[in-house]
Homo-oligomer: A and B are copies of this chain.
């Protein structure tokens, strides 16, 4: 990498230097006292982040591994599962459940919109004989930049009695997620999102209802077995050799995050997301997500007229060093995405909108190149 880069994608996200270096220490025995101390500190810190007093585990793997852990620990082949999906990652959660033999019923909503809690209520109310064993929901859909209303969905699912399994990979730390209060039975997160650490770890919070479900869950499992994770955690260990550097990085990042408080993190993400949305709109761009549910972690922007997404991303990257994400799957040529979660500051937001304005102009759009930065600064001032 010869050029200074601004990494504005929804993960991996920029990592503070102090966190990067926390992973560069000498290796230690993962079954010794130093690691046990770090693991305990991280587990306690994560409970605050997940807003739970129940169990939280640290597993070595990607967020998708965490979703697989949710499925294989909670379900049995043939179990009926209601998949509430609003995009690529909701579909992925469903695909994992299907791959392991669950009978998955899709309750899909238009991409760009949030799930309608009333539709979930209706579907669950119709399930008189309680066949639906679990409901899968993505908290923040990274592919469309939409956040689901878990505060509303949680109590609806609890009233029915199904397990609520939540993909919180791109929401935790960036967006308020009240695991215990909202009745979320199992929540998965990932290290490379708003936690401000590199990829390599996935985190899982689970409550007593999830433990009861696990006792009956019959999908084969070994590596992702949360029962083993619990047994080993009691001795200050993980069942298998963990990604030691990321655990020390997590400890450092949690120190920073919890010193500021979780509310400050949510507020900062909301404020910066508002500035991104204001700036993009001032550049004449259309936002893809329903504005009432637009994500504070990632903003999806519709393809500008007469400009190809691939050209826009290339120029942003090559000329201005700003790395944006494209659309995924059928949105590939329709949207681009600006990640603004984790260690992203106001100056990054302003710089991104400046580069975006110049790029649009250079690609032939009829636009005032400075309109984005002006609107972003006004938005930041106003909050």
**Which residues on A are within 8 Å of B, measured CB to CB?**
1, 5, 7, 9, 11-15, 20-21, 23-30, 32, 34, 60-65, 68, 95-96, 99-101, 190, 192, 198-200, 219-223, 239-246, 317, 323, 325
Contacts and interface: CB of A to CB of B under 8 A. Distances in A.
A253 to B, nearest CB: 13
Contacts of A323: 28-29, 32
Given A192-B244, A200-B242, 7 more contacts: A5-B26, A20-B24, A23-B23, A24-B24, A27-B198, A60-B62, A100-B222
Contact of A101 (B60, B96, B220, B244): B220
Contacts of A200: 60, 200, 242-246
A277 B193 CA distance: 47
Given A28-B7, A221-B99, A323-B32, A62 B199 contact: no
A41 to B, nearest CB: 14
A198 B245 CA distance: 7
This protein's copies in its complex:
2
B26 A62 contact: no
A323 B30 CA distance: 11
Contact of A14 (B23, B27, B34): B27
Contacts of A101: 220
B12 A223 contact: no
Contact of A240 (B7, B63, B99): B63
Closest 9 interchain pairs by CB?
A200-B243, A62-B240, A12-B27, A64-B240, A24-B24, A199-B241, A68-B223, A99-B222, A20-B24
